[in-house]
Each structure stands twice: as C-alpha cells, then as structure tokens.
C-alpha cells in the first residue's frame, strides 16, 4: 500500500512541534522549537515559517513526497480562512496571523488549519482512545479547559470553525469574573489552575495543612495518594465542578465516550474513576447507556495527529 505523506505542525503558546506522518497516522520524524524565546517579539508565524522550512530541508527524503500540510494552532482559529481570529490575549503579534495563506505560499502545498483543542480531539478520534467512536467529547483539563466535540464522526466546527470552546460556558451566573468577560465560566472552577487556587486558598485559611512548597496538580495527587482526608474532600468538590460541565454537555451532545486529556488525566483511580461515577449518577438513564469515560491515549502527539487528520478530511471535502 502506498501511503500518502503529510507534514504536521502543532503551534502552541510556548513551542511548535513538527512531524512527518503518513495517512495511517505513523510518525516518521519530529522536532520542536521555542516560539516565545523573545517574548513573542518575533511573531510566532515568522518563527514557525523559519523552523518548518529548516525541518523540511533536514528531511529531504520526504520533501517531494508531501501531499499537504496540517496545522494545529493555539487561539481562536477561523478554520475556513486559516486566520487567527482571536487569542487568549497574552500572545503578542499573533492575532490576525494569516497562517494558511503564508504557509501555502512558502511550501506551495495545500494547508488546513484548526484550533489546537479541536485538533487534539480529532487526533484521539483518528488514532487514539476514541478510534472508531462517532460521538465523542474530548476535554482537556489544564491551565484552562479546552476541547472538541465530534458528532456523527465529524468535528463540530461551527460557523467560523471555533466551536467547542468548552472553558467558557457559565456554570455559576453570579460566579467569578473570567478573562473572557463573562462570569462563572467552567474553566474558572474545573481547570487544574482552579484546583490549585482552591487548595492554596484553603491552606492560607488554615483549613488544610501545607503539604508542598509548590502546590500543583502533580503534588496534590501525590499527597492524595498518601490518604490525606481533608485534601480528599477538597478535591472531591473540584471533581464535582468538572462533572457539572460534563453532565450538561452529555445531555446536549449524547456522546458514547468522553475522553479526558491533560496532566491530571493520568490519575485514573483518583480522578477519572470518581468523575465517571459522579457524571453517571447525575445524567438521565438513557444517556448513561454505553457512555464511557476514558483517559486520552495520545498525550503530546494528539495535536499533531489531529492537524493531519483535519487536513486529510479537508482535502477530501474539497
Ligand atoms: Zn470565560
């Protein structure tokens, strides 16, 4: 079988990952480079163009075989035009970057661009934990909350390709202010950042004994593993928040699988399993049948794989 060869690029807020993959999702070569080495004074797209050209020069055996380029990018990406239509605000010189146009000009190849969270979802659907599952919600729990929704085997992209922004639906109308301008957003309560903030606050108030100099998702779960009951209760509250959002999403999208990614998703017994119980307890019975809640499988390559899968799908559609 003659597989087609693709160039995948995953542009994050700190680094860009590049890789050569075939149409079966096998990765042949990869490399990463920093994009914030001078605090974004050099625009990210300029860095990406430079390092990706070098990467391809370093792998001449693939150069003439490349069929297309799939790009996953941070921020709100208009997937029809491949332009950055909105950013989280902290990345200089990124808004309005014309990724698709400039990369097509540089490489003389078709380019498809999508948001990184959506690409991560597509990666899990293509070659990861949700392979062959047509209705999936993929949620990344980390600094914020991101994700992608696959329904009927297709990514829900919305009018401008920016659907599935799960961090910013409100779970508390009178809740905390969010960077997006709304109140009570899901990620203000259910992200790893929110968990760390909550634990720090309780330690400050003396409700929890200090257990680490540097409280992080990692140190929290390490301490939980030792059987800290008070910490356990606090983490339970946080898992309730994570469940809050997912219970609503299950009723809207009726998935047969929810995939959790991000650092904390490594915690099966202490996070994924109790989360699964909480979700199933609170959804209506018909939604519960066959619903599975699982850890992501692809880790760091999900965005790259999803970018290439998105590219393959886009080429087929055109
Ligand atoms: Zn928000």
Taking the chain (318 residues) in runs of 10, the rounded mean pLDDT of each run is 86 94 94 94 96 96 95 92 83 94 97 94 96 95 92 92 91 92 95 96 94 92 93 97 97 97 93 97 94 93 95 86
User: How far away, in angstroms, is 163 Cα from ligand 1 center?
Assistant: 14
User: What is the Å distance from ligand 1's center to 88 Cα?
Assistant: 10
Kindly give the distance from the C-alpha atom of residue 61 to the centroid of ligand 1, in angstroms, as a whole number.
Answer: 45
What's the gap in Å between 237 CA and the centre of ligand 1? 20
Calculate how far, in angstroms, residue 167's C-alpha sits from the geometric centre of ligand 1: 6
First to last CA, the chain: 24
CA separation for the pair 166, 249 (Å, rounded) = 9
Structure tokens at 106: 């540089």
- Report how far ligand 1's centroid is from the alpha carbon of 177 (Å): 8
- Contact assessment for residue 191 and residue 144, using Cβ atoms and an 8 Å cutoff: yes
Q: How much distance in Å is there from the Cα of 191 to the middle of ligand 1?
A: 12
Classify domain 5-122+300-317 by CATH architecture: 2-Layer Sandwich (3.30)
Tell which residue, 81, 73, 67, 74, has the closest CA to residue 7: 67
Distance 256 CA to ligand 1 centre (A): 27
In DSSP terms, 15 is beta-bridged to: 34
Tokens of 287: 């939604």
Neighbour-count burial of 253, counting CB atoms closer than 10 A to its CB (0-12 exposed, 13-18 middle, 19+ buried): middle
> In CATH, what class is 132-296?
alpha beta
Rounded to the nearest whole angstrom, what is the distance from the C-alpha of residue 181 to the centroid of ligand 1?
6
What per-residue string of b and e applies to 140-167 under the rule 16 or more CB within 10 Å gives b?
bbbbbbbbbbbeeeebebeeebbbbbbb
Distance 164 CA to ligand 1 centre (A): 13
Give me ligand 1 centre to Cα 41, in Å. Answer: 27
79 class by beta-carbon count within 10 Å (0-12 exposed, 13-18 middle, 19+ buried): buried
pLDDT given at position 1: 45
Residue 140 contacts residue 119 (beta carbons within 8 Å): no
Are domains 5-122+300-317 and 132-296 of this chain identical in fold? Answer: yes
CA of 299 to the centre of ligand 1 (A): 25
Task: Provide the strand spans (E) within the chain.
Answer: 5-11, 15-22, 27-34, 66-73, 76-78, 83-86, 111-115, 136-141, 145-151, 154-155, 257-261, 292-295
What are the domain boundaries of the chain?
5-122+300-317, 132-296
Quote the CA–CA distance of 315 and 309 in Å, as a whole number: 10
Per-residue model confidence (pLDDT) at position 290: 87
CB 217 within 8 A of CB 192: yes
What integer pLDDT is reported at residue 305 of this predicted model? 96
Query: Measured in angstroms, how far is the CA atom of residue 144 from the centroid of ligand 1?
Result: 10
How far apart are the C-alpha atoms of 299 and 57, rounded to whole Å?
27
């Amino acid at each position: 079988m003659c597989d087609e060869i693709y160039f995948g690029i995953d542009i994050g807020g700190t680094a860009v990952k590049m890789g050569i993959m075939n149409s079966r999702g096998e990765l042949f070569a990869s490399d990463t480079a920093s994009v914030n080495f001078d605090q974004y004074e050099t625009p990210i797209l300029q860095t990406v163009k430079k390092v990706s050209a070098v990467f391809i020069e370093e792998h001449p055996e693939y150069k003439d075989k490349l069929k297309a380029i799939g790009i996953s990018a941070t921020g709100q990406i208009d997937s029809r035009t491949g332009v950055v239509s909105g950013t989280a605000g902290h990345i200089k010189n990124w808004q309005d970057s014309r990724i698709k146009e400039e990369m097509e000009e540089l490489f003389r190849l078709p380019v498809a661009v999508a948001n990184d969270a959506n690409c991560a979802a597509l990666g899990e659907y293509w070659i990861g934990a949700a392979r062959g599952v047509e209705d999936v919600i993929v949620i990344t729990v980390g600094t914020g909350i991101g994700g992608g929704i696959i329904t009927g085997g297709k990514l829900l992209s919305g009018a401008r390709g920016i659907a599935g922004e799960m961090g910013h639906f409100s779970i508390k109308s009178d809740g905390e202010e969010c960077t997006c301008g709304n109140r009570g957003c899901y990620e203000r309560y259910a992200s790893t950042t929110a968990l760390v903030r909550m634990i720090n606050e309780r330690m400050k108030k003396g409700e929890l004994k200090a257990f680490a100099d540097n409280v992080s998702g990692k140190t929290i779960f390490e301490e939980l593993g030792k059987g800290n009951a008070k910490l356990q209760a606090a983490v339970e509250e946080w898992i309730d928040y994570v469940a809050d959002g997912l219970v609503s999403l299950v009723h809207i999208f009726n998935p047969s699988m929810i995939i959790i990614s991000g650092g904390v998703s490594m915690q099966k017994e202490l996070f994924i399993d109790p989360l699964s119980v909480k979700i199933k307890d609170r959804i209506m019975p018909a939604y519960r049948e066959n619903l599975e809640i699982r850890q992501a499988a692809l880790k760091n390559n999900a965005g790259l794989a999803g970018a290439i899968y998105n590219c393959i799908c886009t080429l087929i559609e055109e």
